[in-house]
Structure 1
Amino acid sequence: MPAVTADTLTLPRLPELAEPTAWRGVHRIIQGRRFLEGEGFQVRRPFPGVDLSLADPFLLLDHMGAVEYGPGEAKGAPWHPHRGFETVTYIIDGAFEHTDSIGGGGLITNGSTQWMTAGAGILHNEMPPQELVIKGGLFHGVQLWVNLPRELKMVTPRYQDIDAHDATLLSSVDGGALVRVIAGSLAGHDGPGVTYTPITYLHATVSPGAQLAMPWPEDFNAMVYVLSGRGTAGEEDRPLDEGQLAVFGPGTALTVRAAGRQPANSPTGWEILVLGGQPLHEPIARYGPFVMNTRQEIVQAMEDYQAGRLGQIPAEHLAHRTSADERLT
């Protein structure tokens, strides 16, 4: 797993939490379901589900891989529109090439993140680089959709390129866990991602048998998703395995622990995402790549897309245009 690593003994430590602490209990464990996206690549998706309010302000989490592609097997998501939210693509192994209609883009690889604010509207393209298509290879990544509040739905689109080494690196109290802060803040340490909606987004590697305990904003929700390996969530030690999401209840801190023995595909430890944010508590109207507050706003988004008002595909990329036009008519 080439996502940035470091000697935890040299990093700033998370604070030791004094007792009594209002530990967050585990409210629910959700098993990610499998779907096909883009040109036909498989994802595991723990949300949206039956109760999207549990994830608010997040809209979707797609876990891509880990998969070992053979030559000619790698697939992507050709040109398609978005409006009303932000997409955050974090690549752990392998690479994706991103291009969009406002000139943002580049190669996302080995621990780097692209943060695209669709806002008023954007077209973008997410494809494996030709080398991966031709030769095959390991691919593993995550895409998170972050909702925008009503007053920012039509904000000007923007793009952030976050290099793997831009992430803020922290250690657990005993040095048994490496925490990468991608966005938001943890115990006063800020990540590089600039967010409109208040959130915290972390990737942690927890050594076999080690515990990761951290303070968490009381007004944020809290979730832990397992990328690989196995462990337990909460003081009640609820089992949490690859592809599962733990949703925590209220409190001011949370704790997780890696199992003492990890499977072969997780040799460095338990790999988890820790994420949470300030719920928006706003109505959601969604249709495919558009997320707004009302049905009429969705209709307007479709009309704007069909009229070309969400942007134009650069001429050199027209040959790779998606069939989104047909799907949205």
Structure 2
Amino acid sequence: MTRTIARQYPSDRDDIADLVTRRPLPGQKVSQVDPFLFLNHHGPQTYKPNNNGLPFGPHPHRGFETVTFILDGSLAHHDTGGHESIIEAGGVQWMTAGSGLVHAELSPAAFKRDGGDMEILQLWVNLPSKLKMTEPRYTGVQADGIPHVPVADGDGTLHLVSGDFDGQAGPVDSLTGVFMSWVDLKDGASVTLPAPAARNIFFYMVSGNAEVAGTEIKEWYLVEFNGDGDQVTLTAKSDCRFLFGHADKIGEPVVAHGPFVMNTHQEINEAIRDYQAGKFDRQPLNL
């Protein structure tokens, strides 16, 4: 059966300096879609030459994972686990903060010099208590390392980040079995995507609009689905792009404080003390 829509949530506009930012999660009426905690949608916008670039200098994380989709532009990553990369348009970076990292996400020097188009989304995925203090890790994947799977009789493409689809596997091996992708569909195209009934769906309409079971999904809306089926069928009402993922529910208490997401206030206090004591600084950021 095809799942139906339970609710839709609009994004809140919350620009960061000159960076256009929309945030559908958390919102006034939704705190999480377990295990998905947070989404920032930056852009789309065009930066002029000699710009300041992205403002995300060194900052800590513990207890969850960040998944960053570079839809346009480029992103330089550095962290205290010794990882660094520049990911270009169409690529993804997946960072497991685990027991704690300091990282920076900035525009490369060439982008700040030349300017250009930029659109980036960052999703936070929670970790269960047994994995919150796991060893940090990082995977950066360029566009050519992500399977582009034809869907909708060739009128669409599923960009497979993690999990399996149509006989192919995404390049990221998720610790918790998260399926994650983004999908491009042409106007009028229809697609049916598997979504096991026991798992929570993450669905965000990045651009355009579509329809599910007679209900319109608008641009920049987060969609919560009922658990009344094992697939999602969608028809594009314009050229559209959306994030599509699903995962098992964790079902544990969530205590979030800024860049830390744990299960108890005591664990948050421990994270703050460990960060202040320099325990996240395994290696220099090399910025």
Q: TM-score, normalised by structure 1?
A: 0.82
Deviates more, 1:286-295 or 1:220-229: 220-229
Q: 1:255 to 1:308 in 2, by over 3 A?
A: same
What is the CA distance between 1:307 and its match in structure 2? 0.5
Question: 2:263 matched to 1:285?
Answer: no
Deviations 1:172-210 (A, max 9, x none): 252221111111223553211111122111111111111
Could you say which residue in structure 2 is the equivalent of 1:186?
A: 165
Question: 2:251 matched to 1:258?
Answer: no
Deviations 1:304-325 (A, max 9, x none): 00110111562743xxxxxxxx
Deviates more, 1:98-107 or 1:212-221: 212-221
AA in 1 matched with 2:245: L
Could you say which residue in structure 1 is the equivalent of 2:174?
A: 195
Q: Distance in 1 between matches of 2:202 and 2:4?
A: 11
Deviates more, 1:131-140 or 1:285-294: 131-140
What is the CA distance between 1:43 and its match in structure 2? 1.6
Question: 2:14 matched to 1:35?
Answer: yes
Q: 1:34 to 1:173 in 2, by over 3 A?
A: closer
Q: Distance in 1 between matches of 2:5 and 2:168?
A: 25
Q: Distance in 1 between matches of 2:112 and 2:9?
A: 33
Alignment size in residue pairs = 284
Runs (5+) with no aligned partner, structure 2: none
Deviations 1:208-240 (A, max 9, x none): 1111112212221123211111222x212x222
Question: 2:71 matched to 1:101?
Answer: no
Q: Distance in 2 between matches of 1:126 and 1:270?
A: 27
1:31–1:46 contact (8 Å) kept in structure 2: yes
Deviations 1:251-273 (A, max 9, x none): 101011111xx4xxxxxx21111
Could you say which residue in structure 2 is the equivalent of 1:302?
A: 272
What is the CA distance between 1:135 and its match in structure 2? 2.2
What is the DSSP-based 3-state SS (H/G/I as helix, E as strand, rest coil) of the residue aligned with 1:41?
Answer: coil
What is the DSSP-based 3-state SS (H/G/I as helix, E as strand, rest coil) of the residue aligned with 1:198?
Answer: coil
Could you say which residue in structure 2 is the equivalent of 1:175?
A: 154
What is the DSSP-based 3-state SS (H/G/I as helix, E as strand, rest coil) of the residue aligned with 1:304?
Answer: helix
2:11–2:25 contact (8 Å) kept in structure 1: yes
What is the CA distance between 1:150 and its match in structure 2? 0.3
AA in 1 matched with 2:252: E
Q: Distance in 2 between matches of 1:313 and 1:40?
A: 31
What is the DSSP-based 3-state SS (H/G/I as helix, E as strand, rest coil) of the residue aligned with 1:126?
Answer: strand
Root mean square deviation, CA, Å: 1.7
AA in 2 matched with 1:41: L
Q: Distance in 1 between matches of 2:192 and 2:162?
A: 18
Q: Distance in 1 between matches of 2:278 and 2:74?
A: 29
Q: TM-score, normalised by structure 2?
A: 0.94
Q: Distance in 2 between matches of 1:173 and 1:207?
A: 9
1:189-228 paired onto structure 2 within 5 Å: 189-228=168-207
What is the CA distance between 1:113 and its match in structure 2? 1.0
2:80–2:285 contact (8 Å) kept in structure 1: no
What is the CA distance between 1:116 and its match in structure 2? 0.8
1:230-245 paired onto structure 2 within 5 Å: 230-232=209-211, 234-236=212-214, 238-245=215-222
Q: Distance in 2 between matches of 1:271 and 1:315?
A: 34
Could you say which residue in structure 1 is the equivalent of 2:36?
A: 58
Q: Distance in 2 between matches of 1:203 and 1:101?
A: 29
1:123–1:312 contact (8 Å) kept in structure 2: no
110, 124, 129: which one aligns with 1:150: 129
Q: 1:316 to 1:162 in 2, by over 3 A?
A: closer
AA in 1 matched with 2:150: S
AA in 1 matched with 2:102: L
AA in 2 matched with 1:60: F
Deviations 1:266-286 (A, max 9, x none): xxx211111221110000011
92, 95, 110: which one aligns with 1:116: 95
Query: Percent of counterpart pairs with the same letter?
Result: 36
Could you say which residue in structure 1 is the equivalent of 2:240?
A: 270
Q: Distance in 1 between matches of 2:47 and 2:136?
A: 33
Could you say which residue in structure 1 is the equivalent of 2:141?
A: 162
Q: Distance in 1 between matches of 2:18 and 2:60?
A: 18
